[in-house]
Chain A
Amino acid sequence: MSERRVSWALLGPGLLVVVLGAAWLLPELPALGLEASDDGAPAGMGATFDELGPDPLVLVGFDADIGTYAEVRPTVRTVMADLLARDARIAFVSLTVEGRAVALAEQARLERAEANANRLLDLGLIPGAEAGLVDLTKGIRPGENPTAQAFAREVAATGIAAFDAIVVVGGNDLGPRSWIEQVAPRIEPVPIVAITPSVLLPEVLPYVASGQLAALLGTPRDGAAYRATAEVGPLERLVEPGGPRPLPVLIGLLVALGVMGQALVVRLIGATRSLGDRDDA
Protein backbone atom coordinates (compact mmCIF):
# COMPACT_ATOMS: atom_id res chain seq x y z
CA MET A 1 0.00 0.00 0.00
CA SER A 2 1.37 3.43 -0.93
CA GLU A 3 2.17 6.00 1.75
CA ARG A 4 -0.67 8.21 0.55
CA ARG A 5 -3.20 5.41 0.86
CA VAL A 6 -1.98 4.58 4.36
CA SER A 7 -2.44 8.23 5.36
CA TRP A 8 -6.01 8.24 3.97
CA ALA A 9 -6.84 4.98 5.73
CA LEU A 10 -5.67 6.45 9.03
CA LEU A 11 -6.98 10.00 8.67
CA GLY A 12 -10.16 9.32 6.66
CA PRO A 13 -12.41 8.03 9.46
CA GLY A 14 -11.27 10.78 11.86
CA LEU A 15 -11.86 13.43 9.20
CA LEU A 16 -15.33 11.99 8.55
CA VAL A 17 -16.22 12.26 12.24
CA VAL A 18 -15.06 15.92 12.29
CA VAL A 19 -17.07 16.76 9.15
CA LEU A 20 -20.18 15.00 10.51
CA GLY A 21 -19.81 16.87 13.80
CA ALA A 22 -19.53 20.19 11.98
CA ALA A 23 -22.56 19.34 9.83
CA TRP A 24 -24.53 18.54 12.98
CA LEU A 25 -23.91 22.06 14.25
CA LEU A 26 -24.99 23.80 11.04
CA PRO A 27 -28.58 25.11 10.79
CA GLU A 28 -31.26 23.07 8.99
CA LEU A 29 -31.38 23.42 5.20
CA PRO A 30 -34.91 23.76 3.77
CA ALA A 31 -34.06 21.53 0.79
CA LEU A 32 -33.30 18.60 3.10
CA GLY A 33 -35.84 16.66 5.12
CA LEU A 34 -36.33 13.13 6.36
CA GLU A 35 -40.10 13.30 6.66
CA ALA A 36 -40.94 12.94 2.96
CA SER A 37 -43.06 9.80 3.21
CA ASP A 38 -46.26 9.32 1.25
CA ASP A 39 -46.83 5.64 1.93
CA GLY A 40 -49.35 6.20 4.73
CA ALA A 41 -47.29 4.39 7.37
CA PRO A 42 -47.30 7.25 9.92
CA ALA A 43 -51.03 7.79 9.45
CA GLY A 44 -51.59 4.03 9.85
CA MET A 45 -49.83 4.03 13.21
CA GLY A 46 -51.87 7.03 14.42
CA ALA A 47 -55.12 5.48 13.16
CA THR A 48 -54.38 2.20 14.97
CA PHE A 49 -53.81 4.07 18.22
CA ASP A 50 -56.97 6.15 17.60
CA GLU A 51 -59.04 2.95 17.41
CA LEU A 52 -57.92 1.75 20.86
CA GLY A 53 -60.49 2.23 23.57
CA PRO A 54 -60.04 4.51 26.57
CA ASP A 55 -57.22 3.62 28.99
CA PRO A 56 -55.81 0.88 26.73
CA LEU A 57 -53.29 -1.74 27.80
CA VAL A 58 -50.38 -2.06 25.40
CA LEU A 59 -47.78 -4.80 25.38
CA VAL A 60 -44.41 -3.69 24.03
CA GLY A 61 -42.20 -6.50 22.72
CA PHE A 62 -38.86 -4.75 23.07
CA ASP A 63 -36.19 -6.60 21.13
CA ALA A 64 -34.19 -3.87 19.50
CA ASP A 65 -30.68 -4.47 18.26
CA ILE A 66 -28.05 -2.19 19.78
CA GLY A 67 -26.41 -1.63 16.40
CA THR A 68 -29.54 -0.40 14.66
CA TYR A 69 -31.41 1.05 17.63
CA ALA A 70 -30.10 4.56 16.94
CA GLU A 71 -32.16 4.55 13.72
CA VAL A 72 -35.46 3.88 15.51
CA ARG A 73 -34.77 5.36 18.95
CA PRO A 74 -36.40 8.80 18.41
CA THR A 75 -39.47 7.10 16.92
CA VAL A 76 -39.70 4.57 19.75
CA ARG A 77 -39.56 7.35 22.33
CA THR A 78 -42.25 9.32 20.49
CA VAL A 79 -44.48 6.22 20.30
CA MET A 80 -44.11 5.69 24.07
CA ALA A 81 -44.97 9.36 24.71
CA ASP A 82 -47.89 9.14 22.26
CA LEU A 83 -49.29 6.05 24.02
CA LEU A 84 -48.91 7.59 27.49
CA ALA A 85 -50.55 10.79 26.22
CA ARG A 86 -53.51 8.58 25.25
CA ASP A 87 -53.65 7.30 28.85
CA ALA A 88 -52.33 3.90 27.83
CA ARG A 89 -50.70 1.52 30.29
CA ILE A 90 -47.57 -0.06 28.86
CA ALA A 91 -45.95 -3.39 29.73
CA PHE A 92 -42.45 -4.16 28.47
CA VAL A 93 -41.24 -7.66 27.67
CA SER A 94 -38.06 -8.83 25.95
CA LEU A 95 -37.03 -12.17 24.50
CA THR A 96 -33.37 -11.40 23.82
CA VAL A 97 -30.65 -10.26 26.19
CA GLU A 98 -29.75 -7.38 23.90
CA GLY A 99 -33.37 -6.26 23.68
CA ARG A 100 -33.66 -6.48 27.45
CA ALA A 101 -30.60 -4.23 27.86
CA VAL A 102 -32.09 -1.53 25.62
CA ALA A 103 -35.54 -1.92 27.21
CA LEU A 104 -34.05 -1.41 30.69
CA ALA A 105 -32.27 1.73 29.52
CA GLU A 106 -35.49 3.11 28.01
CA GLN A 107 -37.52 2.31 31.13
CA ALA A 108 -34.87 4.03 33.27
CA ARG A 109 -35.14 7.07 30.97
CA LEU A 110 -38.94 7.13 31.35
CA GLU A 111 -38.49 6.94 35.11
CA ARG A 112 -36.00 9.84 35.09
CA ALA A 113 -38.39 11.89 32.96
CA GLU A 114 -41.05 11.26 35.63
CA ALA A 115 -43.46 9.31 33.44
CA ASN A 116 -46.39 7.95 35.45
CA ALA A 117 -44.89 4.83 37.08
CA ASN A 118 -48.36 3.36 37.70
CA ARG A 119 -48.73 3.02 33.95
CA LEU A 120 -45.45 1.19 33.31
CA LEU A 121 -44.93 -2.51 33.96
CA ASP A 122 -41.72 -4.45 33.48
CA LEU A 123 -42.36 -8.08 32.52
CA GLY A 124 -38.64 -8.78 32.19
CA LEU A 125 -36.78 -11.19 29.94
CA ILE A 126 -38.35 -14.43 28.75
CA PRO A 127 -35.74 -16.96 27.58
CA GLY A 128 -36.40 -19.64 25.01
CA ALA A 129 -36.77 -17.54 21.86
CA GLU A 130 -39.91 -18.67 19.96
CA ALA A 131 -40.79 -21.09 22.76
CA GLY A 132 -40.75 -18.12 25.13
CA LEU A 133 -43.20 -16.30 22.88
CA VAL A 134 -45.51 -19.33 22.87
CA ASP A 135 -45.23 -19.46 26.67
CA LEU A 136 -46.19 -15.78 26.84
CA THR A 137 -49.53 -16.62 25.22
CA LYS A 138 -50.25 -19.25 27.89
CA GLY A 139 -49.77 -16.99 30.88
CA ILE A 140 -47.83 -14.02 32.19
CA ARG A 141 -46.16 -13.92 35.59
CA PRO A 142 -45.19 -10.33 36.41
CA GLY A 143 -42.52 -10.03 39.08
CA GLU A 144 -42.62 -7.62 41.96
CA ASN A 145 -43.84 -4.25 40.75
CA PRO A 146 -44.26 -1.90 43.70
CA THR A 147 -45.41 1.02 41.55
CA ALA A 148 -47.83 -0.68 39.18
CA GLN A 149 -49.43 -3.31 41.40
CA ALA A 150 -52.96 -3.00 40.00
CA PHE A 151 -51.64 -3.24 36.45
CA ALA A 152 -49.52 -6.29 37.40
CA ARG A 153 -52.50 -8.02 39.06
CA GLU A 154 -54.67 -7.42 35.99
CA VAL A 155 -52.03 -8.85 33.66
CA ALA A 156 -51.39 -11.84 35.95
CA ALA A 157 -55.11 -12.63 36.07
CA THR A 158 -55.92 -12.21 32.39
CA GLY A 159 -52.62 -12.94 30.69
CA ILE A 160 -51.96 -11.67 27.21
CA ALA A 161 -55.70 -11.28 26.63
CA ALA A 162 -55.55 -8.20 28.86
CA PHE A 163 -53.82 -6.22 26.16
CA ASP A 164 -55.58 -4.12 23.55
CA ALA A 165 -52.57 -3.79 21.25
CA ILE A 166 -49.05 -5.07 20.78
CA VAL A 167 -46.15 -2.83 19.75
CA VAL A 168 -43.06 -4.71 18.58
CA VAL A 169 -39.76 -2.85 18.60
CA GLY A 170 -37.71 -4.97 16.21
CA GLY A 171 -34.11 -5.26 15.14
CA ASN A 172 -33.13 -8.61 16.59
CA ASP A 173 -33.91 -12.13 15.39
CA LEU A 174 -37.15 -12.13 17.38
CA GLY A 175 -38.99 -9.27 15.73
CA PRO A 176 -42.43 -8.68 14.26
CA ARG A 177 -42.24 -11.86 12.15
CA SER A 178 -41.90 -14.04 15.26
CA TRP A 179 -44.78 -12.24 16.99
CA ILE A 180 -47.05 -12.71 13.98
CA GLU A 181 -46.07 -16.35 13.53
CA GLN A 182 -46.04 -17.44 17.18
CA VAL A 183 -48.38 -15.09 19.06
CA ALA A 184 -51.07 -13.86 16.64
CA PRO A 185 -52.53 -17.34 15.85
CA ARG A 186 -52.74 -18.21 19.56
CA ILE A 187 -54.64 -15.18 20.86
CA GLU A 188 -57.80 -13.23 20.15
CA PRO A 189 -57.19 -10.70 17.36
CA VAL A 190 -55.44 -7.54 18.58
CA PRO A 191 -53.66 -5.01 16.40
CA ILE A 192 -49.92 -5.63 16.16
CA VAL A 193 -47.81 -2.66 15.08
CA ALA A 194 -44.05 -2.53 14.64
CA ILE A 195 -41.13 -0.14 14.68
CA THR A 196 -38.13 -1.58 12.90
CA PRO A 197 -34.88 -0.44 11.29
CA SER A 198 -34.78 -0.42 7.47
CA VAL A 199 -32.75 -3.61 7.38
CA LEU A 200 -35.83 -5.61 8.45
CA LEU A 201 -38.11 -4.19 5.73
CA PRO A 202 -37.88 -7.16 3.34
CA GLU A 203 -38.86 -9.46 6.20
CA VAL A 204 -41.68 -7.32 7.58
CA LEU A 205 -43.31 -5.62 4.58
CA PRO A 206 -45.27 -8.72 3.44
CA TYR A 207 -47.07 -8.72 6.79
CA VAL A 208 -48.16 -5.12 6.24
CA ALA A 209 -49.45 -6.01 2.79
CA SER A 210 -51.40 -8.98 4.21
CA GLY A 211 -52.84 -6.90 7.05
CA GLN A 212 -51.26 -9.05 9.77
CA LEU A 213 -49.29 -5.98 10.83
CA ALA A 214 -51.69 -3.13 11.45
CA ALA A 215 -48.98 -0.50 10.97
CA LEU A 216 -45.24 -0.30 10.47
CA LEU A 217 -42.70 2.47 10.93
CA GLY A 218 -39.81 0.87 9.10
CA THR A 219 -37.71 3.63 7.57
CA PRO A 220 -36.14 6.84 8.90
CA ARG A 221 -38.57 8.73 6.64
CA ASP A 222 -41.62 6.98 8.13
CA GLY A 223 -40.29 7.65 11.62
CA ALA A 224 -39.66 11.33 10.90
CA ALA A 225 -43.12 11.75 9.35
CA TYR A 226 -44.75 10.08 12.38
CA ARG A 227 -42.75 12.22 14.83
CA ALA A 228 -43.80 15.35 12.93
CA THR A 229 -47.50 14.50 13.34
CA ALA A 230 -47.66 12.85 16.78
CA GLU A 231 -49.36 14.97 19.43
CA VAL A 232 -47.94 14.17 22.84
CA GLY A 233 -49.13 17.32 24.63
CA PRO A 234 -47.55 17.79 28.05
CA LEU A 235 -45.41 14.67 27.62
CA GLU A 236 -43.03 16.44 25.24
CA ARG A 237 -40.30 15.80 27.81
CA LEU A 238 -40.44 12.07 26.99
CA VAL A 239 -39.67 12.72 23.33
CA GLU A 240 -36.08 12.86 22.14
CA PRO A 241 -35.22 16.51 21.50
CA GLY A 242 -34.10 17.26 17.97
CA GLY A 243 -33.89 13.90 16.25
CA PRO A 244 -31.58 12.96 13.40
CA ARG A 245 -30.35 15.92 11.30
CA PRO A 246 -30.65 15.40 7.53
CA LEU A 247 -27.35 17.10 6.64
CA PRO A 248 -25.04 14.64 8.46
CA VAL A 249 -27.14 11.78 7.03
CA LEU A 250 -26.68 13.24 3.54
CA ILE A 251 -22.92 13.61 4.04
CA GLY A 252 -22.66 9.99 5.20
CA LEU A 253 -24.60 8.85 2.13
CA LEU A 254 -22.43 10.96 -0.18
CA VAL A 255 -19.23 9.54 1.33
CA ALA A 256 -20.54 6.00 0.82
CA LEU A 257 -21.59 6.85 -2.74
CA GLY A 258 -18.21 8.45 -3.43
CA VAL A 259 -16.14 5.52 -2.17
CA MET A 260 -18.22 2.81 -3.83
CA GLY A 261 -18.85 4.85 -6.99
CA GLN A 262 -15.12 5.47 -7.43
CA ALA A 263 -14.45 1.72 -7.13
CA LEU A 264 -17.14 0.94 -9.71
CA VAL A 265 -15.84 3.59 -12.13
CA VAL A 266 -12.26 2.28 -11.82
CA ARG A 267 -13.54 -1.25 -12.47
CA LEU A 268 -15.56 -0.05 -15.47
CA ILE A 269 -12.54 1.75 -16.96
CA GLY A 270 -10.40 -1.35 -16.41
CA ALA A 271 -12.98 -3.57 -18.12
CA THR A 272 -13.30 -1.16 -21.06
CA ARG A 273 -9.51 -1.02 -21.50
CA SER A 274 -9.15 -4.79 -21.44
CA LEU A 275 -11.91 -5.07 -24.07
CA GLY A 276 -10.09 -2.52 -26.22
CA ASP A 277 -6.79 -4.38 -25.83
CA ARG A 278 -8.48 -7.64 -26.85
CA ASP A 279 -9.92 -5.96 -29.98
CA ASP A 280 -6.48 -4.57 -30.87
CA ALA A 281 -4.92 -8.00 -30.50
Chain B
Amino acid sequence: MRRPTITGLVVVVGLLLLADLLVVNSALQDVAGVVVDATILVAAGAALAAGAALVARRLGDLWRRRGDPIGALLVIAGVAAMIAAGLRPGSDGTSDPAVQWLLAALLIPIASTLFGLLFVSTIAAARRSVATGSREAVVLVTATVVTIVLLVPLSGGIGSWLSDAGGSVLGSAVMSVFRGLLIGIALLGAVYAARTMLGIGTADE
Protein backbone atom coordinates (compact mmCIF):
# COMPACT_ATOMS: atom_id res chain seq x y z
CA MET B 1 0.00 0.00 0.00
CA ARG B 2 1.21 3.54 -0.79
CA ARG B 3 2.10 5.85 2.09
CA PRO B 4 -0.26 8.82 2.03
CA THR B 5 2.18 11.29 3.68
CA ILE B 6 3.27 13.14 0.53
CA THR B 7 -0.21 13.19 -0.99
CA GLY B 8 -1.64 14.38 2.31
CA LEU B 9 0.96 17.13 2.52
CA VAL B 10 0.15 18.29 -0.99
CA VAL B 11 -3.58 18.34 -0.29
CA VAL B 12 -3.13 20.24 3.01
CA VAL B 13 -0.81 22.83 1.40
CA GLY B 14 -3.20 23.18 -1.55
CA LEU B 15 -6.19 23.73 0.74
CA LEU B 16 -4.20 26.24 2.81
CA LEU B 17 -3.30 28.29 -0.28
CA LEU B 18 -6.87 28.07 -1.53
CA ALA B 19 -8.19 29.27 1.83
CA ASP B 20 -5.68 32.15 1.77
CA LEU B 21 -6.99 33.13 -1.65
CA LEU B 22 -10.63 33.06 -0.55
CA VAL B 23 -10.49 34.29 3.07
CA VAL B 24 -8.98 37.62 4.17
CA ASN B 25 -7.11 36.71 7.35
CA SER B 26 -3.66 38.02 8.28
CA ALA B 27 -2.62 34.91 10.26
CA LEU B 28 -3.64 32.67 7.39
CA GLN B 29 -1.80 34.97 5.00
CA ASP B 30 1.39 34.68 7.09
CA VAL B 31 1.20 30.89 7.20
CA ALA B 32 0.52 30.74 3.45
CA GLY B 33 3.49 33.07 2.87
CA VAL B 34 5.79 30.76 4.84
CA VAL B 35 4.53 27.76 2.85
CA VAL B 36 5.09 29.58 -0.46
CA ASP B 37 8.62 30.61 0.56
CA ALA B 38 9.39 27.03 1.65
CA THR B 39 8.09 25.73 -1.67
CA ILE B 40 10.35 28.14 -3.56
CA LEU B 41 13.37 27.04 -1.51
CA VAL B 42 12.58 23.38 -2.08
CA ALA B 43 12.14 23.97 -5.84
CA ALA B 44 15.42 25.90 -6.09
CA GLY B 45 17.21 23.22 -4.07
CA ALA B 46 15.75 20.48 -6.24
CA ALA B 47 16.93 22.27 -9.41
CA LEU B 48 20.46 22.62 -8.00
CA ALA B 49 20.46 19.01 -6.85
CA ALA B 50 19.37 17.85 -10.31
CA GLY B 51 22.24 19.80 -11.91
CA ALA B 52 24.74 18.41 -9.41
CA ALA B 53 23.41 14.88 -9.95
CA LEU B 54 23.87 15.26 -13.71
CA VAL B 55 27.48 16.37 -13.29
CA ALA B 56 28.17 13.59 -10.77
CA ARG B 57 26.67 11.02 -13.13
CA ARG B 58 28.80 12.22 -16.04
CA LEU B 59 31.95 12.31 -13.89
CA GLY B 60 31.15 8.75 -12.82
CA ASP B 61 30.77 7.73 -16.47
CA LEU B 62 34.20 9.16 -17.26
CA TRP B 63 35.82 7.60 -14.19
CA ARG B 64 34.37 4.14 -14.88
CA ARG B 65 34.84 4.48 -18.67
CA ARG B 66 31.21 3.72 -19.49
CA GLY B 67 28.64 5.41 -21.74
CA ASP B 68 29.55 8.22 -24.09
CA PRO B 69 32.85 9.86 -22.99
CA ILE B 70 32.63 12.74 -25.51
CA GLY B 71 29.08 13.57 -24.42
CA ALA B 72 30.12 13.44 -20.75
CA LEU B 73 33.10 15.72 -21.39
CA LEU B 74 30.95 18.23 -23.29
CA VAL B 75 28.33 18.33 -20.51
CA ILE B 76 30.99 18.89 -17.84
CA ALA B 77 32.80 21.50 -19.93
CA GLY B 78 29.52 23.34 -20.58
CA VAL B 79 28.59 23.41 -16.90
CA ALA B 80 32.13 24.48 -15.95
CA ALA B 81 32.13 27.30 -18.51
CA MET B 82 28.78 28.62 -17.29
CA ILE B 83 29.80 28.39 -13.61
CA ALA B 84 33.14 30.12 -14.33
CA ALA B 85 31.42 32.89 -16.31
CA GLY B 86 28.72 33.51 -13.74
CA LEU B 87 30.46 32.89 -10.43
CA ARG B 88 34.06 34.04 -10.99
CA PRO B 89 35.20 36.95 -8.78
CA GLY B 90 33.92 40.25 -10.18
CA SER B 91 31.24 38.62 -12.32
CA ASP B 92 27.77 40.19 -12.61
CA GLY B 93 26.12 36.77 -12.35
CA THR B 94 23.53 36.05 -15.01
CA SER B 95 23.88 39.62 -16.34
CA ASP B 96 27.62 39.18 -16.95
CA PRO B 97 28.59 39.68 -20.63
CA ALA B 98 30.37 36.30 -20.66
CA VAL B 99 27.19 34.52 -19.51
CA GLN B 100 25.13 36.45 -22.04
CA TRP B 101 27.55 35.52 -24.81
CA LEU B 102 27.42 31.84 -23.84
CA LEU B 103 23.63 31.99 -23.95
CA ALA B 104 23.11 34.12 -27.06
CA ALA B 105 25.96 32.80 -29.20
CA LEU B 106 26.09 29.15 -28.15
CA LEU B 107 23.23 27.78 -26.08
CA ILE B 108 20.25 29.30 -27.89
CA PRO B 109 21.48 28.61 -31.48
CA ILE B 110 22.49 25.03 -30.59
CA ALA B 111 19.19 24.31 -28.83
CA SER B 112 17.20 25.94 -31.65
CA THR B 113 19.05 23.85 -34.23
CA LEU B 114 18.27 20.67 -32.30
CA PHE B 115 14.60 21.63 -32.20
CA GLY B 116 14.74 22.45 -35.93
CA LEU B 117 15.88 18.90 -36.59
CA LEU B 118 12.61 17.76 -34.98
CA PHE B 119 10.90 18.77 -38.24
CA VAL B 120 12.65 15.94 -40.07
CA SER B 121 12.46 13.37 -37.27
CA THR B 122 8.79 14.12 -36.48
CA ILE B 123 7.48 13.70 -40.02
CA ALA B 124 9.64 10.58 -40.42
CA ALA B 125 8.15 9.19 -37.19
CA ALA B 126 4.62 10.04 -38.39
CA ARG B 127 5.31 8.22 -41.67
CA ARG B 128 6.61 5.14 -39.86
CA SER B 129 3.62 5.15 -37.48
CA VAL B 130 1.19 5.06 -40.41
CA ALA B 131 3.25 2.31 -42.06
CA THR B 132 2.82 0.10 -38.96
CA GLY B 133 -0.92 0.06 -39.66
CA SER B 134 -2.00 1.58 -36.34
CA ARG B 135 -5.51 3.07 -36.62
CA GLU B 136 -4.68 5.74 -34.04
CA ALA B 137 -1.67 6.81 -36.10
CA VAL B 138 -3.79 7.04 -39.26
CA VAL B 139 -6.36 9.25 -37.48
CA LEU B 140 -3.63 11.39 -35.92
CA VAL B 141 -1.72 11.90 -39.16
CA THR B 142 -4.91 12.57 -41.15
CA ALA B 143 -5.88 15.30 -38.66
CA THR B 144 -2.36 16.70 -38.93
CA VAL B 145 -2.54 16.81 -42.73
CA VAL B 146 -5.86 18.71 -42.55
CA THR B 147 -4.40 21.16 -40.03
CA ILE B 148 -1.32 21.74 -42.17
CA VAL B 149 -3.52 22.51 -45.19
CA LEU B 150 -5.30 25.15 -43.09
CA LEU B 151 -1.93 26.71 -42.24
CA VAL B 152 -0.83 27.20 -45.87
CA PRO B 153 0.27 30.87 -46.02
CA LEU B 154 -1.85 32.18 -48.91
CA SER B 155 -2.81 35.84 -49.08
CA GLY B 156 -6.13 37.35 -50.16
CA GLY B 157 -9.56 35.78 -49.80
CA ILE B 158 -8.38 32.17 -49.81
CA GLY B 159 -5.84 32.94 -47.08
CA SER B 160 -8.53 34.58 -44.94
CA TRP B 161 -10.84 31.61 -45.47
CA LEU B 162 -8.12 29.16 -44.47
CA SER B 163 -7.32 31.30 -41.41
CA ASP B 164 -10.99 31.38 -40.38
CA ALA B 165 -11.36 27.64 -40.96
CA GLY B 166 -8.22 27.00 -38.86
CA GLY B 167 -9.67 29.19 -36.10
CA SER B 168 -12.95 27.28 -36.18
CA VAL B 169 -11.23 23.91 -35.97
CA LEU B 170 -9.17 25.11 -33.01
CA GLY B 171 -12.07 26.89 -31.34
CA SER B 172 -14.53 24.01 -31.51
CA ALA B 173 -13.13 20.57 -32.31
CA VAL B 174 -9.67 20.74 -30.75
CA MET B 175 -10.83 22.88 -27.85
CA SER B 176 -13.68 20.54 -26.91
CA VAL B 177 -11.39 17.53 -26.82
CA PHE B 178 -8.67 19.42 -24.95
CA ARG B 179 -11.06 20.77 -22.31
CA GLY B 180 -12.52 17.30 -21.87
CA LEU B 181 -9.04 15.88 -21.38
CA LEU B 182 -8.17 18.56 -18.81
CA ILE B 183 -11.35 17.91 -16.84
CA GLY B 184 -10.77 14.16 -17.00
CA ILE B 185 -7.17 14.47 -15.82
CA ALA B 186 -8.20 16.78 -12.96
CA LEU B 187 -10.90 14.34 -11.83
CA LEU B 188 -8.47 11.43 -12.05
CA GLY B 189 -5.92 13.36 -9.95
CA ALA B 190 -8.54 14.14 -7.29
CA VAL B 191 -9.73 10.53 -7.14
CA TYR B 192 -6.13 9.24 -6.98
CA ALA B 193 -5.30 11.63 -4.12
CA ALA B 194 -8.44 10.66 -2.20
CA ARG B 195 -7.78 6.93 -2.65
CA THR B 196 -4.17 7.31 -1.53
CA MET B 197 -5.14 9.32 1.57
CA LEU B 198 -7.83 6.82 2.50
CA GLY B 199 -5.42 3.92 1.94
CA ILE B 200 -7.50 2.35 -0.83
CA GLY B 201 -5.18 0.52 -3.25
CA THR B 202 -5.91 -0.70 -6.73
CA ALA B 203 -6.99 -4.28 -7.27
CA ASP B 204 -3.53 -5.53 -8.29
CA GLU B 205 -1.77 -4.22 -5.14
Contacts and interface: CB of A to CB of B under 8 A. Distances in A.
Interface of A: 9, 12-13, 16, 30-39, 66-70, 97, 100-102, 104-105, 108-109, 122, 124-129, 131-132, 134-135, 138, 185-186, 201-203, 205-206, 209, 219-221, 246, 249-250, 252-253, 255-257, 259-264, 266-267, 270
Interface residues of B, number: 60
A259 B152 contact: no
Contact of B47 (A97, A201, A220, A270): A97
B169 to A, nearest CB: 10
B78 interface: no
Given A101-B108, A127-B47, A252-B119, A261 B145 contact: yes
Contact of B154 (A31, A138, A270): A31
B153 interface: yes
A102 B171 CA distance: 30
A36 B127 contact: no
Contact of A135 (B40, B123, B133): B40
B interface: dominant SS = helix
Contact of B141 (A70, A249, A264, A270): A264
A203 B145 contact: no
Interface in B114-160: 114-115, 117-120, 123-124, 126-127, 130-131, 133, 138, 141-142, 144-145, 148-149, 151-156, 159-160
Given A135-B37, A206-B175, A257-B149, 13 more contacts: A36-B156, A38-B164, A66-B115, A67-B112, A129-B43, A131-B40, A202-B175, A205-B171, A220-B153, A253-B153, A260-B126, A260-B130, A264-B145
Contacts, number: 163
Given A36-B159, A105-B104, A260-B126, A202 B178 contact: yes
Given A36-B162, A257-B145, A206 B108 contact: no
For the complex of A and B, 9 pairs with smallest distance between CB atoms: A33-B155, A36-B159, A128-B40, A67-B115, A131-B39, A127-B44, A263-B130, A202-B178, A105-B104
A42 B149 CA distance: 23
B130 to A, nearest CB: 4
A76 to B, nearest CB: 14
B145 A201 contact: no
A178 B167 CA distance: 23
Contact of B145 (A70, A186, A260, A267): A260
